[in-house]
Amino acid sequence: MRLRTLNVIDTGLASGLLNQALDRHLLKRVGAGRAYGTLRFYRNTPAVSVGRHQALARELRLDYCRANGIEVVRRASGGGALYLDPGQLGFSLVVRSPRRWRNLTLARELQRASEAVARAMHSLGIAARATAPNDVEVDGRKIASVFVTHDGPALLVHGIVLLDADVRAMLEALRVPTEKLTADGLATARERLTTLAACLGGVPEPCAVKSALANALACGFGVRCGRESSATLRESVTLNQLEAERRIAARIGWDEDGADFLEALVRAPAATLRARARFSAGGERFACVEFAADAHVAPASCFTGLQDLLAELPVVLTTDAVGRWSRRHTVETVGFQAADIVRLLEQLADKQRLTQRHRFSTREANALMPYCADGVGGAEAVLRRASVMLVPYCTKPAWCKWRHRDGCTECGKCEVGDAYRLARGRNMQVTTITSYEHLVATLHAMKAGGVAAYIGMCCSDFFVKRYRAFAEAGMSAVLMDISGANCYELKQESAAYAGTFQAEARLDRDLLARVAALIPTAAARRGWATGE
């Protein structure tokens, strides 16, 4: 079979908006049959790139980006947020899919793309491997990421290779950059990433990297690449298209406009899923639901279709409606399932019940981060079984001699004493967590001791990043968000995890009291035990 030859073009250094517009422009041209395909290489001026379904305010430090002239762009593909700069080589393969590819799953397309980039790294002398769902790693450190999307018969495979990395700017711009757990706890940002410069002792010649990628992508996707041409595509993008990219980037904001939305979060094996909702009068129907996720999903319109489905849907019909919809539309998901969407919606409904039955404010309900080990039951059910309270040391005053020790004198000078008193009144064990390693060891000991559920406090960033620790513990929990000094906002997470963070976080005294009111008192527990 004769292979079609692709155009190979290097469009050089350009803004993130222009590069996204070029990807979208080429994808539409190929999808409409006006072109066969192109392999484009490029660089980006400083920008942050979010996935098609992500909420800006949950992924980025927008104030920092605005103050430092960092563009915000939204990819046509899914996946997580990236920081882009001239130290990375971008590539975009846009091609009309042969019929033999039409049955490939989205996961297989991502795997094929990742394996192609890994082969390119091997040809440069770097022992890289593809890691699901869409990264390329060297000894556990990311060196490249790839993404995939479709427009009809057209396929876009695009990504970045780290020639060098500005880790400081990355941590400043991204709110929750993904971390990996290691045997000893935390891998720092520099330990999570590597670059061609680090692997090869210097940045290789660009032509060598482009040639390696072109050959590997051509082999992986059954095409042939022509010689790189000097033709430019920049003139094909209009000012109107650039303005459209700005609007697309801002499409899912989730900042101050959502104060009256209840919000939920679920971590799946390879995706962080978020949803926010308003409820109709009485709370028995969803008035509207909005989704945001760092997920890979096909069709790309999946979440907007679900939003339409759920508008004015009775809450009790959620499970059946989502299941029927996903089967009817042949939805492909990578790293999560329809059941995770149901869990997300059930969490929203549970928070709505808290606002109605127990007069939690929307802000208070949103500050709760439940984890149900068995996947069923809401916050109230977890709290009825909770027998342990975990308090983070960073909520104790810096001057307190107990800050880095387990225990509290209940002197009345901070909210931690309130937490200890409330726990004691409900016959709960209280532990001050003094480091990340202490948290892991404590959770392990609790599980071994037969603890069914517990309550705790942490910032939402910690919950997202260290979700694996809570999941592996295998106990249900209700965690309360803390305010004030945040080690993630201050970029001091390594110190915080080691137990040496000096700034002070704050417990919400009113929220703590509302949560404690749902925990049975010591007398009630004794009554249950005696059958009274």
Give the separation between CA 8 and CA 37, rounded to whole angstroms.
9
The domain boundary residue, chosen from 366, 396, 414:
366
Q: How confident is the model over 53-111, as pLDDT tens digits? A: 999 999 999 999 999 999 999 999 999 999 999 999 999 999 987 777 777 899 999 99
Q: What tens digit of pLDDT does each residue of 254-268 get? A: 986 667 899 999 988
In this structure, are 21 and 128 located in the same domain? yes
pLDDT at 456: 93
Q: What is the CATH number of the domain that holds 126?
A: 3.30.930.10
Instruction: Count CA atoms within 13 Å of residue 203 on its CB side.
Output: 13
Strands 5-14 and 224-229: parallel
Q: Are 482 and 506 in contact (CB under 8 A)?
A: yes
- At 55 the pLDDT is 96
- In the prediction, which pLDDT does 532 show? 54
pLDDT of residue 467: 83
Residues in contact with 349: Cβ distance below 8 Å, sequence separation at least 6, in sequence order: 315, 318
Among residues 203, 228, 249, the one where a domain terminates is 249
- The pairing of beta strand 185-186 with beta strand 181-182: antiparallel
CA end-to-end span of the chain: 81
Average pLDDT of the chain to the nearest whole number:
87
Query: For residue 492, what pLDDT is reported?
Result: 47
Tens digit of each residue's pLDDT (9 = 90 or more) over 447-502: 999 999 999 998 887 888 778 888 889 999 999 998 754 544 545 455 444 445 45
340, 263: one domain: yes
pLDDT at 3: 59
Whether residues 96 and 132 share a domain: the answer is yes
- Give which of 100, 233, 219, 92 is closest to 149, Cα–Cα: 92
pLDDT confidence of residue 435? 86
User: Which one has a higher pLDDT value, 233 or 173?
Assistant: 173
Residue that is last in its domain, among 320, 344, 366: 366
Do 193 and 321 fall into the same domain?
A: no
Which phi and psi (to 5°) does residue 351 adopt? -70, -35
299 and 196 assigned to the same domain: no
Give the DSSP H/E element, type plus range, for residue 130.
strand 129-131
Is residue 47 located within the same domain as residue 151?
yes
Average the pLDDT over each of 123-137, 151-165, 311-325, 456-470 and give the range with the smallest value. Answer: 456-470
Q: Are 149 and 300 in contact (CB under 8 A)?
A: yes
Q: Are residues 241 and 280 in the same domain?
A: no
Domain residues for the domain of 10 are 5-249
Indicate which CATH number applies to the domain containing 420.
3.40.50.10660
Q: Phi and psi for 274 in degrees, rounded to 5?
A: -130, 150
| Neighbouring C-alpha atoms within 13 Å toward the C-beta of 29 | 16
CA distance 402 to 227: 67
Domain shared by 316 and 397, yes or no: no
Give the span between the Cα atoms of 508 and 519, in whole angstroms.
Answer: 17
355 and 497 together in one domain: no
Confidence of residue 229 (pLDDT cuts 50, 70, 90): confident
- pLDDT score at 277: 96
Beta carbons of 414 and 432 less than 8 angstroms apart: no
What is the predicted pLDDT for the residue at 185? Answer: 33
Count H helices, E strands: the chain?
A: 21, 25
Residue 236 has pLDDT above 70, yes or no: yes
Q: Is 423 left (phi over 0), alpha (psi -120 to 50) or beta?
A: alpha
Same domain? For 387 and 516 the reply is yes
Question: What does the alpha-carbon distance between residue 399 and residue 411 come to, in Å, rounded to a whole number?
Answer: 13
Do residues 192 and 262 both lie within one domain?
no
How many structural domains comprise the chain?
3
Question: Which stretch of DSSP H or E encloses residue 387?
Answer: strand 386-392
The string of pLDDT tens digits covering residues 352-378 is 999 999 999 999 999 999 988 876 678
Measured from the Cβ of residue 244, the count of other Cβ atoms closer than 10 Å reads 15
Same domain, 308 and 396: no
pLDDT above 90 coverage of the chain, percent = 60
186 pLDDT tier (thresholds 50, 70, 90): very low
pLDDT the model gives residue 330 = 84
CATH number of the domain enclosing 304: 3.30.390.50
* Of 339, 296, 301, 305, the residue nearest 325 (C-alpha): 305
